[in-house]
Amino acid sequence: MSYQITIQPSGATFTSEADETLLDAALRQGLIMPYGCKDGACGACKGTLKAGTVDLGRYQAHALSAEEIEAGQVLLCTSKATSDLTLENRQVVKAGAIPVKTLPGRIEKLEKLAPDVIAMHLRLPASEKFVFHAGQYIDFLLKDGKRRSYSLANAPEQEGTLELHIRLVPGGLFTEQVFGTLKVKDILRFEGPHGGFFLREESTKPAILLASGTGFAPIKSIIGHALAQDSRRPLHLYWGGRTQADLYMPTLPEDWAGKYPHIRYTPVLSEPEPGWSGRTGFVHRAVMEDYPSLAGHQVYACGAPVMIDAARKDFLAQCALPEEEFYSDAFTFSAPGM
């Protein structure tokens, strides 16, 4: 059985089968919705149910609280329609002509950026052109149908290779292979591009780019793309970590800020070593100190779910950021061995 889904205020419509999530149904029909983890862990795909009924599915309590459920909010990545629906979700765009492909990639280089971060460079087949929006991600297709998602760190203008920043997760099925057994010339299969996290180029508003850890990867892609397009839109990157080692490519954003007047860079450490003279504390709090009002800005946040959740709540409640101008991609991890 299928149901009619209407999204407000855009007026976009699509159909959803009873056995598929609302997010999967939307993506299948060419609509890009905001989402991150796709498994009910990050809260990025939250929408408000205005009419109809849903099965909320399995989700984590920190991603959808009892108070939010009472207010009619649902997670599109876990919820399934049980009637025709009207949902409020302002971040809806057409996917356009970018096809999702399944391709092989040959490892061209494994570059250790930090003790627990490797940059993997994949060489694409010469006959294939892989098109994506800066900020999107791919899924590596592993054995037994398992998938692992990683954001693309290179700009779309860089053809022929893909760059991914992979952090070691102790016990992680894929990351331990990357750090232990995978080698140059090995071939991996992947699917993509995926995701609704990318710079809205139709806007001229100054953008805050907020990253924690390897959340820097899609931000690097976004800035690289903006520079390739000769954009002069003001961009302010805040990159947070516990120690300096977590800011594993420090000279690159410093170079951007030194060369381009419209780009600013602020590194923030929560557990700095002695001698650190930069900003300290929570990275999103540094944004709030510098921008008491975000009413005229867009925010693009990528990294740990706890950072994204705190930034969303505080920016909306205390800095007057319009809800529709907050875009995010939360990095979540599968349980060891899964």
Angle at 87 between CA 86 and CA 90, to 5 degrees: 135
pLDDT tens digit string along 199-258?
A: 898 899 999 999 999 999 999 999 999 999 999 999 999 999 999 999 999 999 999 999
Indicate where the chain has its CATH 3.40.50.80 domain(s): 207-330
Q: Does domain 2-94 have CATH number 3.10.20.30?
A: yes
pLDDT of residue 97: 57
pLDDT of residue 37: 64
Grade residue 150 by pLDDT with cuts at 50, 70 and 90: very high
Residue 291 in this model has a pLDDT that exceeds 90: yes
pLDDT of residue 12: 84
Indicate where the chain has its CATH 3.10.20.30 domain(s): 2-94
Which of 10-24, 47-61, 82-96, 293-307 bottoms out in mean pLDDT, i.e. has the lowest? Answer: 82-96
Residue 174 in this model has a pLDDT that exceeds 80: yes
Q: Does domain 207-330 have CATH number 3.30.70.890?
A: no
CA atoms within 13 A on the CB side of 316: 12
3-state secondary structure 192-235: EEECCCCCCCCCCCCEEEEEEHHHHHHHHHHHHHHHHCCCCCCE
DSSP category for residue 329:
E
d(CA 109, CA 94) in angstroms, rounded, equals 34
pLDDT of residue 216: 98
pLDDT of residue 335: 41
Grade residue 30 by pLDDT with cuts at 50, 70 and 90: confident
pLDDT of residue 337: 43
Omega before residue 125 within 30° of 0, cis: no
Question: How do beta strands 31-32 and 93-94 pair?
Answer: antiparallel
Give me the CATH code for the 101-194 domain, please. Answer: 2.40.30.10
For 118, the token pair is 């490797």
* Residue 283, strand partner residues: none
> How much is the mean pLDDT over the chain?
91
d(CA 9, CA 87) in angstroms, rounded, equals 9
pLDDT of residue 41: 76
Find the mean pLDDT for residues 32-56. 83
Residue 44 in this model has a pLDDT that exceeds 80: no
Find the mean pLDDT for residues 272-286. 96
pLDDT of residue 242: 96
Q: Which of 225, 211, 281, 269 is nearest to 244 (CA)?
A: 269
Indicate where the chain has its CATH 2.40.30.10 domain(s): 101-194
The residue that leads in pLDDT, 304 or 280, is 280
pLDDT tens digit string along 51-95?
A: 999 999 999 887 898 999 999 999 999 999 999 999 998 656 665
Residue 5 in this model has a pLDDT that exceeds 90: yes
SS3 state of residue 254: helix
pLDDT tens digit string along 312-327?
A: 999 999 999 998 899 9
Range among 71-75, 133-137, 262-266 rated most confident: 262-266
Q: How far is CA 179 from the centre of its chain?
A: 23
Residue 97 contacts by C-beta under 8 Å, 6 or more apart in sequence?
A: none
